[in-house]
Amino acid sequence: MLIRPDRDDLQVIGFYLGKVMVGVGYVLGAPMLVAAVMGDWDDLTAFLLGAGLSISIGRLAERRFATTQQLDWSHGLVTAALSWLLGAALFAVPLDLSGHYGSYVDAYFEAMSGLTATGLTLTQDIDHMSVSVNLLRHITHFLGGQGIIIVMLTGLGSSSGQVSTLYVGEGRDDRILPNVVRTARFIYLVASVYLVVGTIALALAGLVAGFSPLRSVIHGLNLFMAAFDTGGFATNSTSISYYHSAAIEGVLIVLMVAGALSFLLHYELWRGRRREVLENLEVRTIAVTGLITTSLLLLGLARAGTFTDVGSLFRKGVFSAISAHTSTGFTVNASRMFVTDWGRIAPAALLMALALGGMASSTAGGVKGIRVGLAAKSVSRDVRRAIQPDAAVVAVTYTQRHRRRITDAPVRSAITILVLYVLLFLSGALVGVYYGVPFEQALFESTSASVNGGMSVGVLEPGTPLPMKLTYTAQMWLGRLEFMAVFALLGYGIALVRGRI
């Protein structure tokens, strides 16, 4: 029997949504400051309007729904799902006012793509976009990569008990430290250290590449946020090929890999437990799938004759493979060249790498290494059972912080999510096919949106039919929250209508 949510349920959800909206308003202060310094007055007023709107609505919601009630699991999941929808809607306001989007839907798509660290874009004339608006796009990566609610609520002084359910709702399942606030602070610490070191490294590489000091810092900061948060936005239309710099590509590879590692693994490394890296099932899985997809990609590029020398083959091939496997989505060639110059095997290898993704509880997307690893271990267990005598006991173990024995519950959960992802890829591809896109290209674009990958073969562009844009937007949202929070929201909606008091 479904129980209809009551007024207290809606009150607690409304209260925390209000807090998130206030947080969005404060975040807009950063690009506003940059707009003021650069003298971009229309951008400044766009940010001020967005911030004023967010804070006004947020404060009103906090006041109207004021409560001391704790969030339970369902509240947490529903609040997480709605926060991402509302956050994107509010960030879309200054983006839309920037004049670079053909409609509010396009601006909303961009904000969702930024927050979910996807990196697909509908920006028009990005090469004439102002520094401050471009910065906002990249800030959405930084917020979304860490987890928008955790950033907002811990930043605004909420207690651990208040935010713990939201932490799970945002697709995170590893609590690194005893409480969520301390875990969130550790996540900030890791991100901040990488922010400083990564931006300096990229700015220095930019100087060597020929940028002016100010421009190298601007590019360095934006590139950092897009790389570490495995987002994939770029400040210009040609992504990483704009820089013509092996040094920049090298630093980006390090940052993308760091972003695709779980914060738990960062914690273990922080504490000097290097053995965890070697024994961790997820790390091993990603090492194997990374090797396979990179080899396939190189083979495909060599077969297609895309590059004329071995150095270029490895430089572009390895960068693209890592960019895809970490679900970042940076490219070193124009999108159309995946179709016109990469043959058939290489794009297929990219698609595989995109779908697999990084580690759970990292900034990366994809179905995640742990699920693939658990499914593989489960298959291995079943095969061993089949070839052993009936009385033999087959125990398969794996290491994930500590040694664990494979049981049916986590395997079932992993396979359920894997199946859901595959269904999501296919359903998005079908929408593309309906609008006349060849199946392979539709599948590539759909997968890229679903796993928050951000690579494109050129299907998505401002003129793409509205239903396709909406489909990709929903896929990015579902993929980032890994289904559960969205399903909880749908269930809540049904219970509101059909549930019993």
Partner 1 sequence: MTRRPVSARAVGEIAVAVVIVIAVIVTIRILRDSAPQARLPHVGTAAPDSDDPDIVTCERTLPDAEETQQAIDQVEPVGLISSTEVLECPDAFDQQVVVYVGEVIGDVLNRDGGAWLLVNDDDYALEVGPLRGHGDYRGGNSGLAVWLPAPLPDLEPGRGDVRGTVIQVRGRIHRSDAADGGGLTLRALSADTVSILREAQDLDRPVHRAQAVAAVLFALLAAGITLQARRSESRR
Question: Letter for the amino acid at 40?
Answer: D
CB closer to partner 1, 462 vs 465 = 462
Strands 397-400 and 402-405: antiparallel
Contact between 33 and partner 1 by CB under 8 A: the answer reads no
Of these, 29, 311, 467, 493, which contacts partner 1 (CB under 8 A)? Answer: 311
CB closer to partner 1, 193 vs 208 = 208
Map residue 446 onto helix, strand or coil.
helix
Of these, 62, 110, 282, 482, which contacts partner 1 (CB under 8 A)? Answer: 62
Q: Which of 463, 296, 456, 285 is nearest to 380 (CA)?
A: 285
Quick note: the x/- pattern for partner 1 over 350-389, rule CB under 8 A, is: ----------------------------------------
Q: Calculate the alpha carbon distances from 475 to 353, 415, 419, 422, 470 in Å.
A: 18, 19, 15, 12, 9
| Least distance in angstroms from the C-beta of 138 to partner 1 | 16
- Most distant CA pair in the chain, distance: 77
Interface stretch with partner 1, choices 89-97, 376-384, 413-421, 446-454 (CB under 8 A): 89-97
Q: How many residues bind partner 1 (CB under 8 A)?
A: 83
Of these, 84, 167, 211, 330, which contacts partner 1 (CB under 8 A)? Answer: 211
Of these, 204, 287, 299, 337, which contacts partner 1 (CB under 8 A)? Answer: 337
Residue 403's φ and ψ, nearest 5 degrees, are: -70, 135
Contact between 306 and partner 1 by CB under 8 A: the answer reads yes
CA dihedral 203, 207, 213, 215 (to 10 degrees): -70
Residues 242-281 that bind partner 1 (CB under 8 A): 242-244, 246, 249
| Least distance in angstroms from the C-beta of 446 to partner 1 | 20
Distance CA 468, CA 448 (A): 13
| Least distance in angstroms from the C-beta of 10 to partner 1 | 6
| Least distance in angstroms from the C-beta of 123 to partner 1 | 7
**Structure token digits, residue 272:** 């000097």
Residues 133-162 that bind partner 1 (CB under 8 A): none
Q: Which of 172, 160, 110, 149 is nearest to 476 (CA)?
A: 110
**Structure token digits, residue 417:** 């999510």
| Least distance in angstroms from the C-beta of 328 to partner 1 | 18
H or E element in which residue 389 lies: none
| Least distance in angstroms from the C-beta of 448 to partner 1 | 17
Interface stretch with partner 1, choices 33-41, 169-177, 194-202, 473-481 (CB under 8 A): 33-41
CB closer to partner 1, 7 vs 498 = 7
Contact between 491 and partner 1 by CB under 8 A: the answer reads no
**Residue 63: alpha-carbon gap to chain centroid:** 32
Residues 423-482 that bind partner 1 (CB under 8 A): 461-463
Given a contact cutoff of 8 angstroms between Cβ atoms, the answer to whether 170 and 479 are in contact is: no
Contact between 495 and partner 1 by CB under 8 A: the answer reads no
CB closer to partner 1, 55 vs 352 = 55
Q: Which of 227, 226, 228 is nearest to 188 (CA)?
A: 228
Question: Letter for the amino acid at 217?
Answer: V
Contact between 234 and partner 1 by CB under 8 A: the answer reads no
Of these, 2, 6, 439, 466, which contacts partner 1 (CB under 8 A)? Answer: 6
Q: Could you please report the per-residue DSSP string of 349-375?
A: HHHHHHHH-S-TTSS--SS-HHHHHHH
Distance CA 424, CA 436 (A): 19
Of these, 13, 17, 20, 55, which contacts partner 1 (CB under 8 A)? Answer: 55
